[in-house]
Structure 1
Amino acid sequence: MSSSDDDTPLVRGRPNGVKSEDRISKSVDQAMDKQIPSNGHVEPGVSVRMGPIEEMDVDTPPTNGNVNGKRKARSSLTNGRSYKEESSSEDDDKPLSKRRRTSQQAKRVMEDSESELSDVPLKARKPPKATAAQIGESSDSDIPLNTRLEKKKESIEKAAAKEAKTIRNKEKAAASKRKPKAAKSESDDDVPLAKKKKQPAKKTPNGVKKDESDSDAPLAKKAQPKKTKVKAEPATPVKKSKGKAKAEEKTAQDEEAEDEEDEYRWWEDPTNGDGTKKWTTLEHNGVVFPPEYEPLPSHVKLIYEGVPVSLHKDAEEVATFYGSMLNSTHNVENPTFNENFFNDFTAILDKTGHGKDKHGNTVKIKKFEKCDFKPIFEWFDSERAKKKALPAAEKKALKAEKEAAEAPYMYCMWDGRKQKVGNFRVEPPGLFRGRGEHPKTGRVKKRVMPEQITINIGKEAKVPEPPAGHRWKEIKHDQEGTWLAMWQENINGAYKYVMLAANSDIKGQSDFKKFEKARELKKHIDRIREDYRRDLKSEKMADRQRATAIYLIDQFALRAGNEKGEDEADTVGCCSLKYEHVTLKPPHFVIFDFLGKDSIRFYDEVTVDPQVFKNLKIFKKAPKTTGDDVFDRLTTSALNKHLTNYMPGLTAKVFRTYNASWTMARLLRDMKAVGSIPEKVKAYNDANREVAILCNHKRTVAASHATSIEKMQERINGLRYQVWRTKHMMMDIDPKIKKKKGAEYFELPEDLDDEWVKQHIDSLVEEQRQKIQKKFEKDNEKLKAEGEKEMKAKELDQRLEVAEELGKKYRKEHKTGKVEAEGKGPTIEKMEANIDKLNQRIETMKVQMEDKEGNKEVALGTSKINYIDPRLTVVFSKKFNVPIERFFSKTLREKFDWAIKSVDENWEF
Structure 2
Amino acid sequence: MSSSDDDRPLARTHKANGITNAFTLGHPPKSKDIISESVDKAMDKANPPAAHGAPGISIRNGPVDEMDIDGPVVNSKVNGKRKARSSMGNGKSYKEASEGDDDEANPLSKRRRVSKGKNKAEVDSDSDDAPLVSKKLKTKPPTLVRKPVKASETAIGESEDSDAPLGEKLAKKKADIQKSAAKEAKAIRKDEKEHPKTKANGTASSKKRKSQINGVKKEESDDDGPLAKKAPAKKKANLKTEASPKKKGKTSKVETKEDEEAEAEEEEYRWWEDPTKGDGTKKWTTLEHAGVVFPPEYQTLPSNVQMLYEGKPVRMAPGAEEIAGFFGSMLNSTHNIENPTFQKNFFDDFTKMLKETGGATDRNGNKVNIKEFSKCDFQPIFNYYDAQRTEKKALPAAEKKRLKAEKDAAEAPYMYCMWDNRKQKVGNFRVEPPGLFRGRGDHPKTGRVKKRVDPEQITINIGKEGKVPAPPEGHRWKEIKHDQEGTWLAMWQENINAAYKYVMLAANSDVKGQSDFKKFEKARELKKHIDHIRKDYNAELKDKVMANRQRATAVYLIDQFALRAGNEKGEDEADTVGCCSLKFEHVTLKPPNKVIFDFLGKDSIRFYDEVEVDDQVFKNLKLFKKSPKSDGDEIFDRLTTSALNKHLSNYMNGLTAKVFRTYNASFTMSKLLQDMKSTGSIAEKIVDYNEANRKVAILCNHKRTVAAGHESQMEKLGDRIKGLKYQKWRIKQMMLDIDPKIKKKKEKEEGDDYFRLDEELEEIWIHEHQNFLVEEERQKIEKKFNKENEKLQADGGKEMKHKELEERLEEADRLAKKYKKENKTGKVEAEGKGPTVEKCEGNLVKLDQRINTMLFQAKDKENNKEVALGTSKINYIDPRLTVVFSKKFDVPIEKFFSKTLREKFDWAIKSVDEDWEF
Instruction: Show the counterpart of 2:173.
Output: 152
Return the letter of the residue paired with 1:898: W
Q: Secondary structure at the match of 1:533?
A: helix
Instruction: Show the counterpart of 1:856.
Output: 865
Q: How does 1:108-187 map to 2 (within 5 A)?
A: 108=106, 112-114=124-126, 120-122=135-137, 127=148, 138=159, 141-175=162-196
Distance change (3 Å), C-alpha of 1:452 and 1:52: farther
Partners in 1 of 2:587 and 2:156 — Cα distance? 27
Instruction: Show the counterpart of 1:878.
Output: 887
Q: Judge which range, 407-416 or 768-777, deviates more.
A: 768-777
Distance change (3 Å), C-alpha of 1:244 and 1:446: farther
5+ residue gaps, structure 2 = 12-22, 112-123, 139-144, 210-217
Distance change (3 Å), C-alpha of 1:178 and 1:497: closer
> Deviations 1:779-833 (Å, cap 9, x if unpaired)?
2222332334433333322222211210111222233221111222222111111
Partners in 2 of 1:778 and 1:367 — Cα distance? 50
Aligned residues of 1:126 and 1:700 also touching (Cα < 8 A): no
Q: 1:644 aligns with which of 641, 645, 649?
A: 649
Partners in 2 of 1:844 and 1:236 — Cα distance? 46
The CA deviation at 1:230 is 14
The CA deviation at 1:530 is 0.3
Aligned residues of 1:453 and 1:486 also touching (Cα < 8 A): yes
Instruction: Show the counterpart of 2:853.
Output: 844
Return the letter of the residue paired with 1:67: S
Q: Secondary structure at the match of 1:584?
A: strand
> Deviations 1:193-215 (Å, cap 9, x if unpaired)?
xxxx98668989971145399xx
1:591 aligns with 2:596: yes
Instruction: Show the counterpart of 1:24.
Output: 35
Q: 2:68 aligns with which of 33, 36, 57?
A: 57
Q: How does 1:561-640 map to 2 (within 5 A)?
A: 561-640=566-645
Distance change (3 Å), C-alpha of 1:762 and 1:569: same
Instruction: Show the counterpart of 1:317.
Output: 322
Q: 1:785 aligns with which of 790, 794, 805?
A: 794
Q: Secondary structure at the match of 1:95?
A: helix
Partners in 2 of 1:151 and 1:75 — Cα distance? 40
1:487 aligns with 2:492: yes
Partners in 2 of 1:131 and 1:489 — Cα distance? 45
Instruction: Show the counterpart of 1:744.
Output: 753
Aligned residues of 1:582 and 1:593 also touching (Cα < 8 A): yes
Q: Judge which range, 619-628 or 132-141, deviates more.
A: 132-141
Aligned residues of 2:90 and 2:569 also touching (Cα < 8 A): no
Partners in 1 of 2:715 and 2:783 — Cα distance? 26
Distance change (3 Å), C-alpha of 1:178 and 1:609: closer
Q: Judge which range, 748-757 or 738-747, deviates more.
A: 738-747
Q: Secondary structure at the match of 2:754?
A: helix
Q: Secondary structure at the match of 2:475?
A: coil
Instruction: Show the counterpart of 1:364.
Output: 369
Instruction: Show the counterpart of 2:395.
Output: 390
1:528 aligns with 2:537: no
Aligned residues of 1:132 and 1:139 also touching (Cα < 8 A): no
Instruction: Show the counterpart of 1:813.
Output: 822
Aligned residues of 1:74 and 1:563 also touching (Cα < 8 A): yes
Partners in 2 of 1:853 and 1:236 — Cα distance? 54
Instruction: Show the counterpart of 1:717.
Output: 722
Q: How does 1:298-309 map to 2 (within 5 A)?
A: 298-309=303-314
Instruction: Show the counterpart of 2:473.
Output: 468
Partners in 2 of 1:243 and 1:425 — Cα distance? 43
Partners in 2 of 1:693 and 1:702 — Cα distance? 17
Partners in 1 of 2:789 and 2:423 — Cα distance? 43
The CA deviation at 1:475 is 0.2
Aligned residues of 2:728 and 2:847 also touching (Cα < 8 A): yes
Aligned residues of 2:3 and 2:545 also touching (Cα < 8 A): no
Aligned residues of 1:422 and 1:500 also touching (Cα < 8 A): yes
Aligned residues of 1:48 and 1:606 also touching (Cα < 8 A): yes
1:676 aligns with 2:715: no
Aligned residues of 2:156 and 2:167 also touching (Cα < 8 A): no
Q: Judge which range, 10-19 or 729-738, deviates more.
A: 10-19
Instruction: Show the counterpart of 2:222.
Output: 207
> Deviations 1:117-153 (Å, cap 9, x if unpaired)?
6985126976367869997963684324442121110
Q: Secondary structure at the match of 2:488?
A: coil
Partners in 1 of 2:524 and 2:825 — Cα distance? 67
Instruction: Show the counterpart of 2:382.
Output: 377
Instruction: Show the counterpart of 2:901.
Output: 892
Instruction: Show the counterpart of 1:702.
Output: 707
1:545 aligns with 2:554: no
Aligned residues of 1:267 and 1:902 also touching (Cα < 8 A): yes
Aligned residues of 1:132 and 1:145 also touching (Cα < 8 A): no
Instruction: Show the counterpart of 1:194.
Output: none
1:498 aligns with 2:503: yes
Q: Secondary structure at the match of 1:122?
A: coil
The CA deviation at 1:77 is 6.6
Instruction: Show the counterpart of 1:409.
Output: 414
Partners in 2 of 1:440 and 1:566 — Cα distance? 12
Instruction: Show the counterpart of 1:869.
Output: 878
Q: Secondary structure at the match of 1:574?
A: coil
Q: 1:418 aligns with which of 398, 423, 433?
A: 423
Return the letter of the residue paired with 2:126: E
Instruction: Show the counterpart of 2:913.
Output: 904
1:829 aligns with 2:841: no
Distance change (3 Å), C-alpha of 1:235 and 1:352: farther
Partners in 2 of 1:129 and 1:524 — Cα distance? 39
Q: 1:43 aligns with which of 54, 60, 73?
A: 54
Return the letter of the residue paired with 1:95: K
Distance change (3 Å), C-alpha of 1:5 and 1:862: closer
Distance change (3 Å), C-alpha of 1:695 and 1:671: same
Partners in 2 of 1:261 and 1:474 — Cα distance? 41
Aligned residues of 1:164 and 1:523 also touching (Cα < 8 A): yes
Partners in 1 of 2:838 and 2:506 — Cα distance? 54
Distance change (3 Å), C-alpha of 1:627 and 1:315: same
1:760 aligns with 2:769: yes
Aligned residues of 1:591 and 1:604 also touching (Cα < 8 A): yes
The CA deviation at 1:776 is 2.1
> Deviations 1:178-231 (Å, cap 9, x if unpaired)?
89xxxxxxx9xxxxxxxxx98668989971145399xxxxxxxxxxxx9x9999
Distance change (3 Å), C-alpha of 1:270 and 1:540: same
The CA deviation at 1:773 is 1.7
1:449 aligns with 2:454: yes
Return the letter of the residue paired with 2:898: S
Return the letter of the residue paired with 1:827: T
5+ residue gaps, structure 1 = 83-90, 180-186, 188-196, 214-225
Partners in 2 of 1:11 and 1:350 — Cα distance? 45
TM-score by length of 2: 0.88
Percent identity of paired positions between Structure 1 and Structure 2: 67
1:278 aligns with 2:287: no
Indicate the RMSD between aligned Cα atoms, in angstroms. Answer: 3.2
Partners in 2 of 1:821 and 1:367 — Cα distance? 69
Q: Judge which range, 674-683 or 265-274, deviates more.
A: 265-274
The CA deviation at 1:41 is 4.4
Instruction: Show the counterpart of 1:86.
Output: none
1:326 aligns with 2:341: no
Distance change (3 Å), C-alpha of 1:664 and 1:424: same
Partners in 1 of 2:280 and 2:153 — Cα distance? 45
Partners in 1 of 2:847 and 2:187 — Cα distance? 52
Distance change (3 Å), C-alpha of 1:378 and 1:626: same
Partners in 2 of 1:295 and 1:331 — Cα distance? 24
Aligned residues of 1:229 and 1:263 also touching (Cα < 8 A): no
1:95 aligns with 2:95: yes
Aligned residues of 2:83 and 2:569 also touching (Cα < 8 A): yes
